[in-house]
Structure formats: structure tokens, C-alpha cells
Chains A and B, each alone.
Chain A
Amino acid sequence: MTASTTQTLVVIGNGMVGHRLVEILRDSSWRIVVFGEESRPAYDRVALSSYVDSWSSADLELPALTGCELRLGEKAVSVDRARRVVVGASGVEISYDALVLATGSVPFVPPVPGRDLPGCHVYRTIDDLDEIRATVEAADRPGRRSGMVLGGGLLGLEAANALRGMGVSPHVVELAPRLMPIQVDDGGAGLLKRLVEKLDLTVHTGTSASSIERDGTRLVARLASGLELDLDVVVFSAGIRPRTDLELGLELGPRGGYLVDAACRTSDPHVFAIGECAAVEGVTYGLVAPGYSMAEVVADQISGGTRVFPGADVSTKLKLLGVDVASFGDAHAATEGALEVVVNNAVAGTYSKLVVSDDARTLLGGVLVGDASSYLSLRPLVGKEVPAALLQPGGAVDVEMPADAQVCSCHAVTKQTITDAISSGVACDVAELKACTKAGTGCGSCVPMLKKLLTECGVEQSKALCEHFTHSRAELFEIIRATRVPTFSALIEKHGTGRGCDICKPAVASILASLGNGHILGETQVSLQDTNDRFLANLQRNGTYSVVPRIPGGEITPEKLIVIGEVARDYGLYTKITGGQRIDMFGATVDQLPEIWRRLVDAGFESGHAYGKSLRTVKSCVGTTWCRYGVQDSVGLAIELELRYRGLRSPHKLKSAVSGCARECAEARGKDFGVIATENGWNLYVGGNGGFTPRHADLLVSDVDTAELIKVIDRFLMFYIRTADRLQRTSVWLDGLEGGLDHLREVVVDDKLGICAELEAAMESHVSDYADEWRGVLEDPEKLARFTSFVNAPGVPDPTISFRAERGQRVPVSLGIPEVVR
């Protein structure tokens, strides 16, 4: 073998910190070999509880490592420091010039009798969660399953959240007198307990488990307080211990961990330790940000640098079980003479405590529970002069941040560094800031602050719709409304450039339709429509379409159900009940659509607009007509609303629901506008969403009668249609609306802008102009002629479409997709 100048770095451990180190050194001259005990690639352990949402480990995976030799599923079994060789479980020997220990930690399991029984688990890895799930699924308890989480710290609450996600009601047992004893004080923890107990958690503080026993298929835990818990599963999450089972003959820190100096180097100059297994100058850290910081230090050191560990900011901000919790600086007022300013709003469910120096001039730390939105502005002020306004009750938290304040604590990036990058023109958006300063590439919690700094530095976040228009959608809406431009061509000629594209054409088509410009397949509009609108059906993966007739409120006669069944049978359509209480028929070709719709229209159906950015359905529960608990006629109202707003084109789809009582069976708070019956009338909620980012709708007005309700919905919808961005659901629109819900209420309830009469008139004109789009096609030979697969062979079926049978129905045969693409 020829002599080589390439040096070898061996990393033992493929967790988040080890992964970060390899990423940093990816383009260096080092040859890198990684030993990872787990057989899967490195993943985001911080987000472990979200694994329960999808049970897909791919969702947690970190970016794949390149440029290194990754030995997954191979534990490093020994190290010979004299020969500088690591031996893997397979017997492989790798010589190193530098060795980095990134072995992480192991869960601490308190010595409770019975802790090894089947059904007792730890909470650390994806495999642990899979095992917990197996235990939960094997439990044969009727009704809701019951679990115990030992440990009420950050990790314990995460574990409790994961159990909830599996349909288990968790008991959380914490030895300390409060939840999250390290981060949060008594006042904050009291509120936290109250908020999480609303979520089906039972909290037991100031006690511990004294034994766990098996009783048939159950587990029984006895607490020191005398309480007995009947359980299906037990999860230990009472803390972690540095993992040092790989014996290297190196000194350990006072609380475990490989002892290293500020350069993260052990007493052996070739060996480093980073992350949770390292005791930097004797101190261990259980958070990922200090671990990342250590990875930076080692990367710099082995490249000949002199960087040392700057000490860690152990501030935390997180959302636990939907509750914001943040803690920073001297959260427990341990500094001598420290003063506390506490605002505990039990009604609003928020708690904030600021810790200041004895002269009330310097901010030392704080605790926030319930609403942690001020964390990003407050944390950088620690150690700095505290603005007087902050100490007033309800004091403004939007304070100017000093230039040397740290914005990104993962990468120790100051505000000055960021504003320099912006003002020198190096970075014009968040992505560029991330690339050149590294800010925001760690935990990501400072990204909103990066956006704010960009705005403060005068960088306009472009609102241009696309390359053809510099206007936002709302601006285009106003132009079209004011000038009554009737066509896209006229609009782009006067106000845009080029010929348009798949972004601006459908957006403008939607605006034209919202303002009432006749059939959406009219001569000047048809070429603007996305394929779904162009064929008034939903394109599916094999090029066929699905058909959804409107079933207002989900109410349908047996006769109409039979028609749907007959049509589906005659055309071989796959049928499925939708989430919006109607029926979807899949697999229709372009040529079949008019024939299918002729039969549906003849039977009294009309378009359901499942294809449009428009009202989908108004779902309902059965209401007072049948239900013993209903207090209002929810079906009747749902039908009235669905018929009123059908066909209304909007920036994105609109979903709605009406529940006949507070039990909320129609899930109205997950809708763009949802109505819930009260003893006295209706409550209207707006801005709800399921989907990618679920959001509960906010209460806009309460106890109103039907006429008032409809008036407010009319105004709300028209205001949204006028002002939202393209493809912006009401939830995102409302979150971004300046002044938020209060402003919305001022506009659509109090008529502060004086536009309500106009909004109502616009809705009246929509209602009176409504016509069924499918009937419009069937009555117009020119529109009908467009429903042809082949211009030179009308009626000939598309040879690429074929079906196979699955569970008694036709489904598409998957299409051969060229290798190059995937």
C-alpha cells in the first residue's frame, strides 16, 4: 500500500450530534468512518414523539450523509488507544488519526421492583416506540387504555404525548413537587399541570412508583402516595445518563461522561467526545444545541483551529402537548438578590415570570407558560439592560434587541452578524441567511426572528404572484374589481408581462369567477383553468377523473343513492365515501364525463365543486330532528349554507360544518367556517383547518340567530376572498392578518372599515347568479365538444388507461414510470 496523506476520522455514534459533525466535515480532506449501533440512518430524536403521527421513520430522518463510510448496525466493541484502532462488532479494524466519541446517553431507569416486566419500556429510540406500540396494541382492555410515565420532565411529557397519540390515557408520575422541575418554577408548573390535565393526562407530583406487578394481562403500579394504578403500559423517562460503556480507560466526569477539556479533547490528544456522552470540563448537557456546538468545536480543532466550547445556553422553548413552555437564563432566580416580576393570568391560561437583578436594571432570566411568543425577543436580552416597559403589567415585549444579542443559540450567531449579512447584500432571504451565517440551521426556532430582521432591515418579502405580475393576489383582485377588466389577456397586457403561467392564470380565473363573469369554461376563461376546473372533475394519477355530485349537508334520499349506485355500476366507477359526507366516483374518462353527468343532472344532482377552489361541503350532525341531545336543527342550517355558498370561487377550497350541540359531532372547529348550536342560537368559528397544519377555528360571534349568522358569514367569506393570497386557506390568512381575530371582528362584525354593505351585496349577487356548471356544459355543444380524449378519434378509449380489481372494485393499474425520474 502506498503512503497516503489522507487522515482518518472515526466517529462512534450516529445520533444527531455525530451526524452534525460528519456534515460539517463533509467537504474536508478527512476520510470519515462512522459506527452506528442502530441499523437505521440518523434521525431527529428531538421530534421522536411525532413518530406516532405517521409511524414512518422516514419522516424523522436527517439528511443522508455523503462522503463518509457509514457502518450502520455495527457497534464499536473496543478501542485500542495504543495502536489507534477501533474494532467493530463484525471484527473489522479501523485505524484512526482522530477518534470522536458521540455515543449519546442511555435512559435512566429508577430501581423500582418490577421494572423489567413485559410492558415496561424506556423512551429513547424509534425501536422503543415500536415496542411501546406493540404493548399498547396487545392490551385487551375494553375502552381507553391506561399508561404510566415515570418522570414529569421534558422527556416525560413528550412520552406522555406519544402515549396519547396511541390512544392511551397517561398518568405522569414525578418525584419533584412540580412538572418540569428543571426548567419551570412552581407558578408556571401549576399552570402547565392545569393545561395538560385538560388533555386527558393525570399528573401525580411529589411521589414515585414503589412497585410494579403483573396482574393477568394488566400491570399494577403502587405509588408511594398509596395510590394504585391499573395499567397496560409503563414508560420510564426519568432522565438520561451519559453512555460510557465503551471502555477506553479514560477519565470520567463527576456525573459520568467522558471528561474533556474546552476543546472537547480527552486526556488522549487523539480522542474527543461530543454530545450527551461528553463531560465538558466536568459538565454534561442533555440538549442537542450544546452538542451541535461541541461538534463545531471538534471539527475546527481537528482542522487545526483553536475554537473552544463557549459554554451552553440551556434556554428552551418548546410546545409540549400543545402548550408553549419556555425557560431562559436564571429561570429560578438563583442569583443573589434577584427580583421576580410575575404575571399569572389564570383566565387566559398564560404565565410569565421575568427575573431581574436587585436594582431591576438587568434581565437575568424568565419562565413563560401558555404563550411563549415573547421568548425570541427576551432571550437575547439576558444579561442586558431591561427595558422599563417590560416590567409594567402587560408590558410590551416587542423590544429592540441589542446588536450583540444572540439570535441563534445553536450556532452562536448574533444579531449583528445577521444584519451585516443583510445590509451588505449577501443575504436577501431566510434561505440565504441560513447558508451564509448558519443561523436557523440548528433547532430552527429563530427562523421567525430572521424574517423579522429581514423586514426590519428593509428587505421586502416579495408578494408578487409570479414572474408575470408584480402584484399580490389581493392587489390583482382590487384591480379587476375596480377596472372591471373582463379577460386575462386584457389584464396581463395592461398590468403584467409575458403570456402568463400555471400560477397566474388559474388565480386570475378564480378572481374573475368570484366577481361573477359567467361560466368558468366560457371562451376566454377555459384556457386559464387548471385541469380539474377545465373538466369539472378531479384528475387522478392515471389520467382519469373522479366525479362528486353535491349532497347538501350530507342528506340524501334512497332514490338518489340508487341513482349514484347505478351510474357507478354502469360505468365501472370505484366508489368511496368522502370525509365531507358525500360520494366520490373514480375512474371516469374525459369522454365519459358528460354522459355520467347527464344521468346525474336528470336525477336532480348538480356539481359538487370537488374540483374547484370553492365551497366543498357543509358537513352536519343529525341535529334536533333525531338526536336526543341536539339543541338546533343542524342539518337544516347546513343545507341552507351549502346552497347559499355553492359555486363560490375563493383563493383556496372552503370547508364548513354545523354541529347541533356542544358535543360537536360535525367537527365544525376543524373547518374554514364552522357553526355550533347553543341553547340561544349559533356560535360561529372561523379559520379552522385539518390537513397539513391542523388549527382549531376561533370563535367570531356567539349566540346569534340564523339571519345574523348568515350576514356575518357572508361578510367573512367575501373579506377573505378579497384579501387572501393565492392558495391561502382561511387558517393561514387569519394567522397572518394584521390585528388577527380582533381586527377581523372589527371589520366583519363592527364594520369599522365601512365595507360590510359592499361585502353583503357581493354575496347577494353571487347567490342570485349561481347556476350549475355541469348543466351549463350539457346545454352548450361547444363546451361539450371539449370533452374528447382524442381530437382525431372521438370516443376511442385512451389505451394507457387500464384497471385491475381490488376488494371488488376497479382501481388503476399503476403506470410504468421511467427510472430516470424517481
Chain B
Amino acid sequence: MIVCDFDVLRPEQGVAALLPDGSQVAVFLTADGTVHALDNIDPFSGAAVLSRGIVGDRGGVPVVVSPVYKQAFELATGKCLEQPSVSVAVHGVRVRDGVVELT
């Protein structure tokens, strides 16, 4: 499924996309050019806001920090660093012909 043009993404910022089934993904571009996609719903608040979190790293591992209660989630695995029993789903994502697609 097509999310958006790659040009729309900005390094270390997220955007949210609506899926046909009504669910949402948060898509992030890291500084090294990698694109990640996670569920947009923050499991600690239930709010669909992960795309609006600050992107950075913890010990070199790229993370997004939920804007609600500030837990960090690994961009590559969706795992919550503060509470490893909690994670958000990771979606397959690729860039083809300048377009970001979920696989």
C-alpha cells in the first residue's frame, strides 16, 4: 500500500498514515535514510500519537519517544525500552520509485 512520496518525509520526524481497515501507522525517516513503520497507537495512553514523538537514540539504538508519557520504542523492533514486555507492532516498509510503501 502506498503511504506517501518519500520527499514528504523529513529526517528524524514522523508522519501518520491511515490504513484501509481504519488502523494507523507511524512512518519515520532516520538520519541515515532508513524508513521505519510502527503502529501509531501508543500502548500506554491508547492515543494515536506515536508519529508525533521525538526521534533520537538510546545508546545508539534509534527510538521514538511517545509524546504522552515519554516511553521510548525501538524503531526497528517496536519494543518499549522502559517495559520490555510491551511493544508496538512493526510494519514492513520500503521505498520504491520515490514512493513509500507498506509491504
Contacts and interface: CB of A to CB of B under 8 A. Distances in A.
Contact of B56 (A499, A531, A543, A815): A499
Interface in A169-184: none
Interface in B12-38: 12-13, 15-18, 22, 24, 27, 30-31
Contact of A815 (B8, B27, B45): B45
B89 interface: no
Contacts, number: 114
Contacts of A499: 12, 30-31, 55-57, 62
Contacts of B30: 499
A526 B16 contact: no
Which of A535, A815, A816 has the most B CB atoms < 10 Å from its CB? A815
Contacts of B31: 499
Nearest to B56: A501
Interface in A527-554: 527-531, 534-535, 539, 541-543
A795 to B, nearest CB: 11
A550 to B, nearest CB: 24
A502 B70 CA distance: 8
Interface in A773-822: 789-793, 796, 798-801, 814-818, 820-821
A498 B18 CA distance: 32
Nearest to B10: A527
Interface residues of A, number: 39
Given A526-B13, A791-B4, A505 B56 contact: yes
Contacts of B72: 501-502
A531 B16 CA distance: 14
Interface string B34-58: 0000000101111111001111111
A815 B12 contact: no
Contacts of A801: 48
B91 to A, nearest CB: 14
A467 interface: yes
A103 to B, nearest CB: 41
A539 B46 contact: no
Contacts of B68: 539, 541
A501 B58 contact: yes
A791 B8 contact: yes
A383 interface: no
A816 to B, nearest CB: 6
A468 to B, nearest CB: 8
B90 interface: no
A502 B62 CA distance: 12
B52 A817 contact: no
A500 B57 contact: yes
Interface in B47-88: 47-49, 52-60, 62-63, 65, 67-68, 70, 72, 83, 85-86
A530 B67 contact: yes
Nearest to A523: B10
A506 interface: yes
**Contact-residue size bin, chain B (C-beta under 8 Å from the other chain):** 35 or more
Contacts of B58: 467, 501
Given A499-B12, A820-B85, A792 B4 contact: yes
Contacts of B41: 800
B56 A502 contact: yes
B3 interface: yes
A527 B12 contact: yes
A799 B24 CA distance: 9
A230 B46 CA distance: 55
B13 A543 contact: no
Which of B18, B41, B70 has the most A CB atoms < 10 Å from its CB? B18
A498 B44 contact: no
Contacts of A534: 52
Contacts of A501: 54, 56-58, 63, 65, 72
Given A527-B12, A800-B41, A816-B46, A539 B67 contact: yes
B54 A502 contact: yes
Contacts of A530: 54, 67
B45 A541 contact: yes
Nearest to B49: A543
A796 B44 CA distance: 24
B48 A527 contact: no
Contacts of B22: 799
Contacts of B43: 817-818, 820-821
A531 B18 contact: no
Interface in A506-531: 506, 526-531
A468 B43 CA distance: 27
A543 B54 contact: no
Given A792-B17, A817-B45, 6 more contacts: A531-B67, A791-B4, A791-B16, A792-B2, A817-B43, A820-B43
10 tightest CB-CB pairs across the interface, nearest first?
A815-B46, A531-B67, A543-B47, A501-B56, A502-B65, A791-B15, A502-B54, A790-B18, A499-B57, A817-B46
11 contacts: A529-B54, A531-B53, A541-B47, A791-B3, A793-B17, A793-B18, A799-B18, A800-B41, A801-B48, A817-B44, A818-B43
Interface of B: 2-4, 8, 10-13, 15-18, 22, 24, 27, 30-31, 41, 43-49, 52-60, 62-63, 65, 67-68, 70, 72, 83, 85-86
